[in-house]
Amino acid sequence: MRLTTKGRYAITAMLDVAINGPAKAVALHDISNRQSISLSYLEQLFSKLRNAKLVKSQRGPGGGYLLAKSSNAISLFDVITAVDEKIDQTQCGGEMNCNDSRPCLTHYVWTDLNTQINDYMKNISLENVISRDEVRQIIEMRDTKNLSYLGTKENNFDTPIYLDYSATTPVDPRVAKKMSECLTIEGIFGNPASRSHPYGWDSEKLVDEARKNVASVIKADTREIIWTSGATESDNLAIKGAAYFYKEKGNHLITLSTEHKAVLDTMRYLESDGFEVTYLDPNNDGLLDLNVLKKAIKPSTILVSVMHVNNEIGVVQDIEAIGKLCRDKKIILHVDAAQSPGKVPIDVEKFNVDLMSLSAHKVYGPKGIGALYVRRKPRIRLQPQIHGGGHERGFRSGTLPTHQIVGMGEAFKYAGLEMKSDNIKIKKLRDKLWSGLKDIEEIYLNGDLEQRIPGNLNISFNYIEGESLMMATKDLAVSSGSACTSASLEPSYVLRALGRDDELAHSSIRLTIGKYTTEDQIKHAIKVLRESVSKLRALSPLWEMYKDGIDLKSVKWTSH
């Protein structure tokens, strides 16, 4: 029998509320700290528990959650079913072809066992558990010794080591300084669209300089750079804008199943509006097979959208080959390049890219600002998605945020100037990290190692859930996937598209290195990860079965 993360964490969290909250609401962040369960995970679990009327929320100061019933009236079975969890156990089957109408000799052993297990879970209440002497001893031990089983801090660093540079990057101090000069009365604070006085002229000059810096990194003309609020808006403007403008020519769009949600959700929206979308799976290494793309193209295909650098696994697609194919077929090519600047060379002319989405905060610039490259020759037309003033050549209305644009321009300037030296340093650290981990048993690297940006490692540790590993490594700030989806309880859709099964997809963490990462931090990360993997596997019955030589893929699980 096994109970996976949702069920175990839900029961643990409910026990915490029962222990700490009979007379007051219990805050989720307190549960998170006490039980080493991520806050985002708890938020999703408690949403389900509230819908099942097992807990009730209390807002305002001192807010949190209370049990909706007495701890005697809530069974473990209630909690498990509330979070859509199922208890799995082995069943007879296989060549014996056992079923209810034609049972094998042991059939009723397993059905009786199943009934007894469910009855047991129904008859054990939260109160039964927390009143046990063993549980009380654990509580006392934690209170007196401040014990944290797997997250004990042995770190001499002031804060957790940041290894999540693909989620966001800190702003470069040089960038922040330049931005700060565009905010106050002493600085250049004017509206760039105010062309009747020097305040507007000075701001416009800085915006033009930033536009030049961004264009230089991707080898574009400055007139082809359109400011947006970030890569998500750029993706929406590019895909929706092109689809609606060229819909008379066709209604078929192509993308990859491993794209960022900003692309996938936009595509799904267009499907609801009558467009046809083909989602291509990559090879097991995360890279697109060009022949698969060729076969997917139809006479009605008007746009292909492919991410340059994947945000989860860091692989780099052959945009030059894809661009040549699209240009030959007269199909618009959109590229989400949010993760590319400062990591890989970009040349929109050489790559035959028509539309490219860019972001500042992945390149040591500020959040809330991005850009869209829109080709002028041959000219690409878009239907605007935001109206009101006709800014940015009519593509994107809205007052330009001078300080953010200046920040993006400076960040891209340094990305272009320092890419080579940064990549040498970061690749050395990435290789050191991988060398320190790759001999761990049942470890899998997700995505091609060579055709990959220097700072990314996405690793699956079999028989360990990524969420548990993150909680066990509190010294490290890492993620279990894209920051936009890592709060989800579901396995990474990117890893599933690579052919990883649910278990391996659930056991993955993403480690991304940046220019502020040090060698000492990497050494400590290796130590923490190796120790945590060892401790977690020592607690895993699946690991014990694997070590006993049981082929877990041959075990037949059934749900009740």
Residues carrying an active site annotation: 484
- Rounded to the nearest 10 degrees, what angle do helices 39-51 and 5-20 cross at? 80
Nearest to 446 by CA among 421, 422, 482, 418: 482
Token pair belonging to 215? 């264009």
Q: Is 22 helix (H, G, I), strand (E, B) or coil?
A: coil
Greatest Cα pair distance, the chain, in angstroms, is 92
445 beta partners? 459
Q: And the tokens for 389? A: 């003033």
Which candidate, 287, 293, 329, 327, places its Cα nearest to that of 310?
Answer: 287
Amino acid letter, 497: A
| C-beta of residue 165 within 8 angstroms of C-beta of residue 513 | yes
Q: Cβ(195)–Cβ(348) under 8 Å?
A: no
Q: Which two tokens stand for residue 153?
A: 């801090």
Per DSSP bridges, beta strands 557-559 and 88-90 are antiparallel
- How open is the CA angle 524-170-395, to the nearest 5 degrees? 140
Whole-angstrom distance, CA of residue 543 vs CA of residue 315: 30
Written as six digits, the tokens of 329 are 């077929």
Residue 252: strand, helix, or coil: strand
Q: Give the C-alpha separation, 17 to 71, whole Å.
A: 9
Cβ proximity of 92 and 146 under 8 Å: no
Q: Is 512 exposed, middle or buried (0-12, 13-18, 19+ CB in 10 A)?
A: buried
**Burial (CB count within 10 angstroms: exposed 0-12, middle 13-18, buried 19+), residue 357:** buried
- In degrees rounded to 5, what are phi and psi of residue 167? -80, -50
In 3D, which of 382, 366, 380 has the Cα closest to residue 210?
366
Q: Looking at residue 6, what DSSP letter applies?
A: H
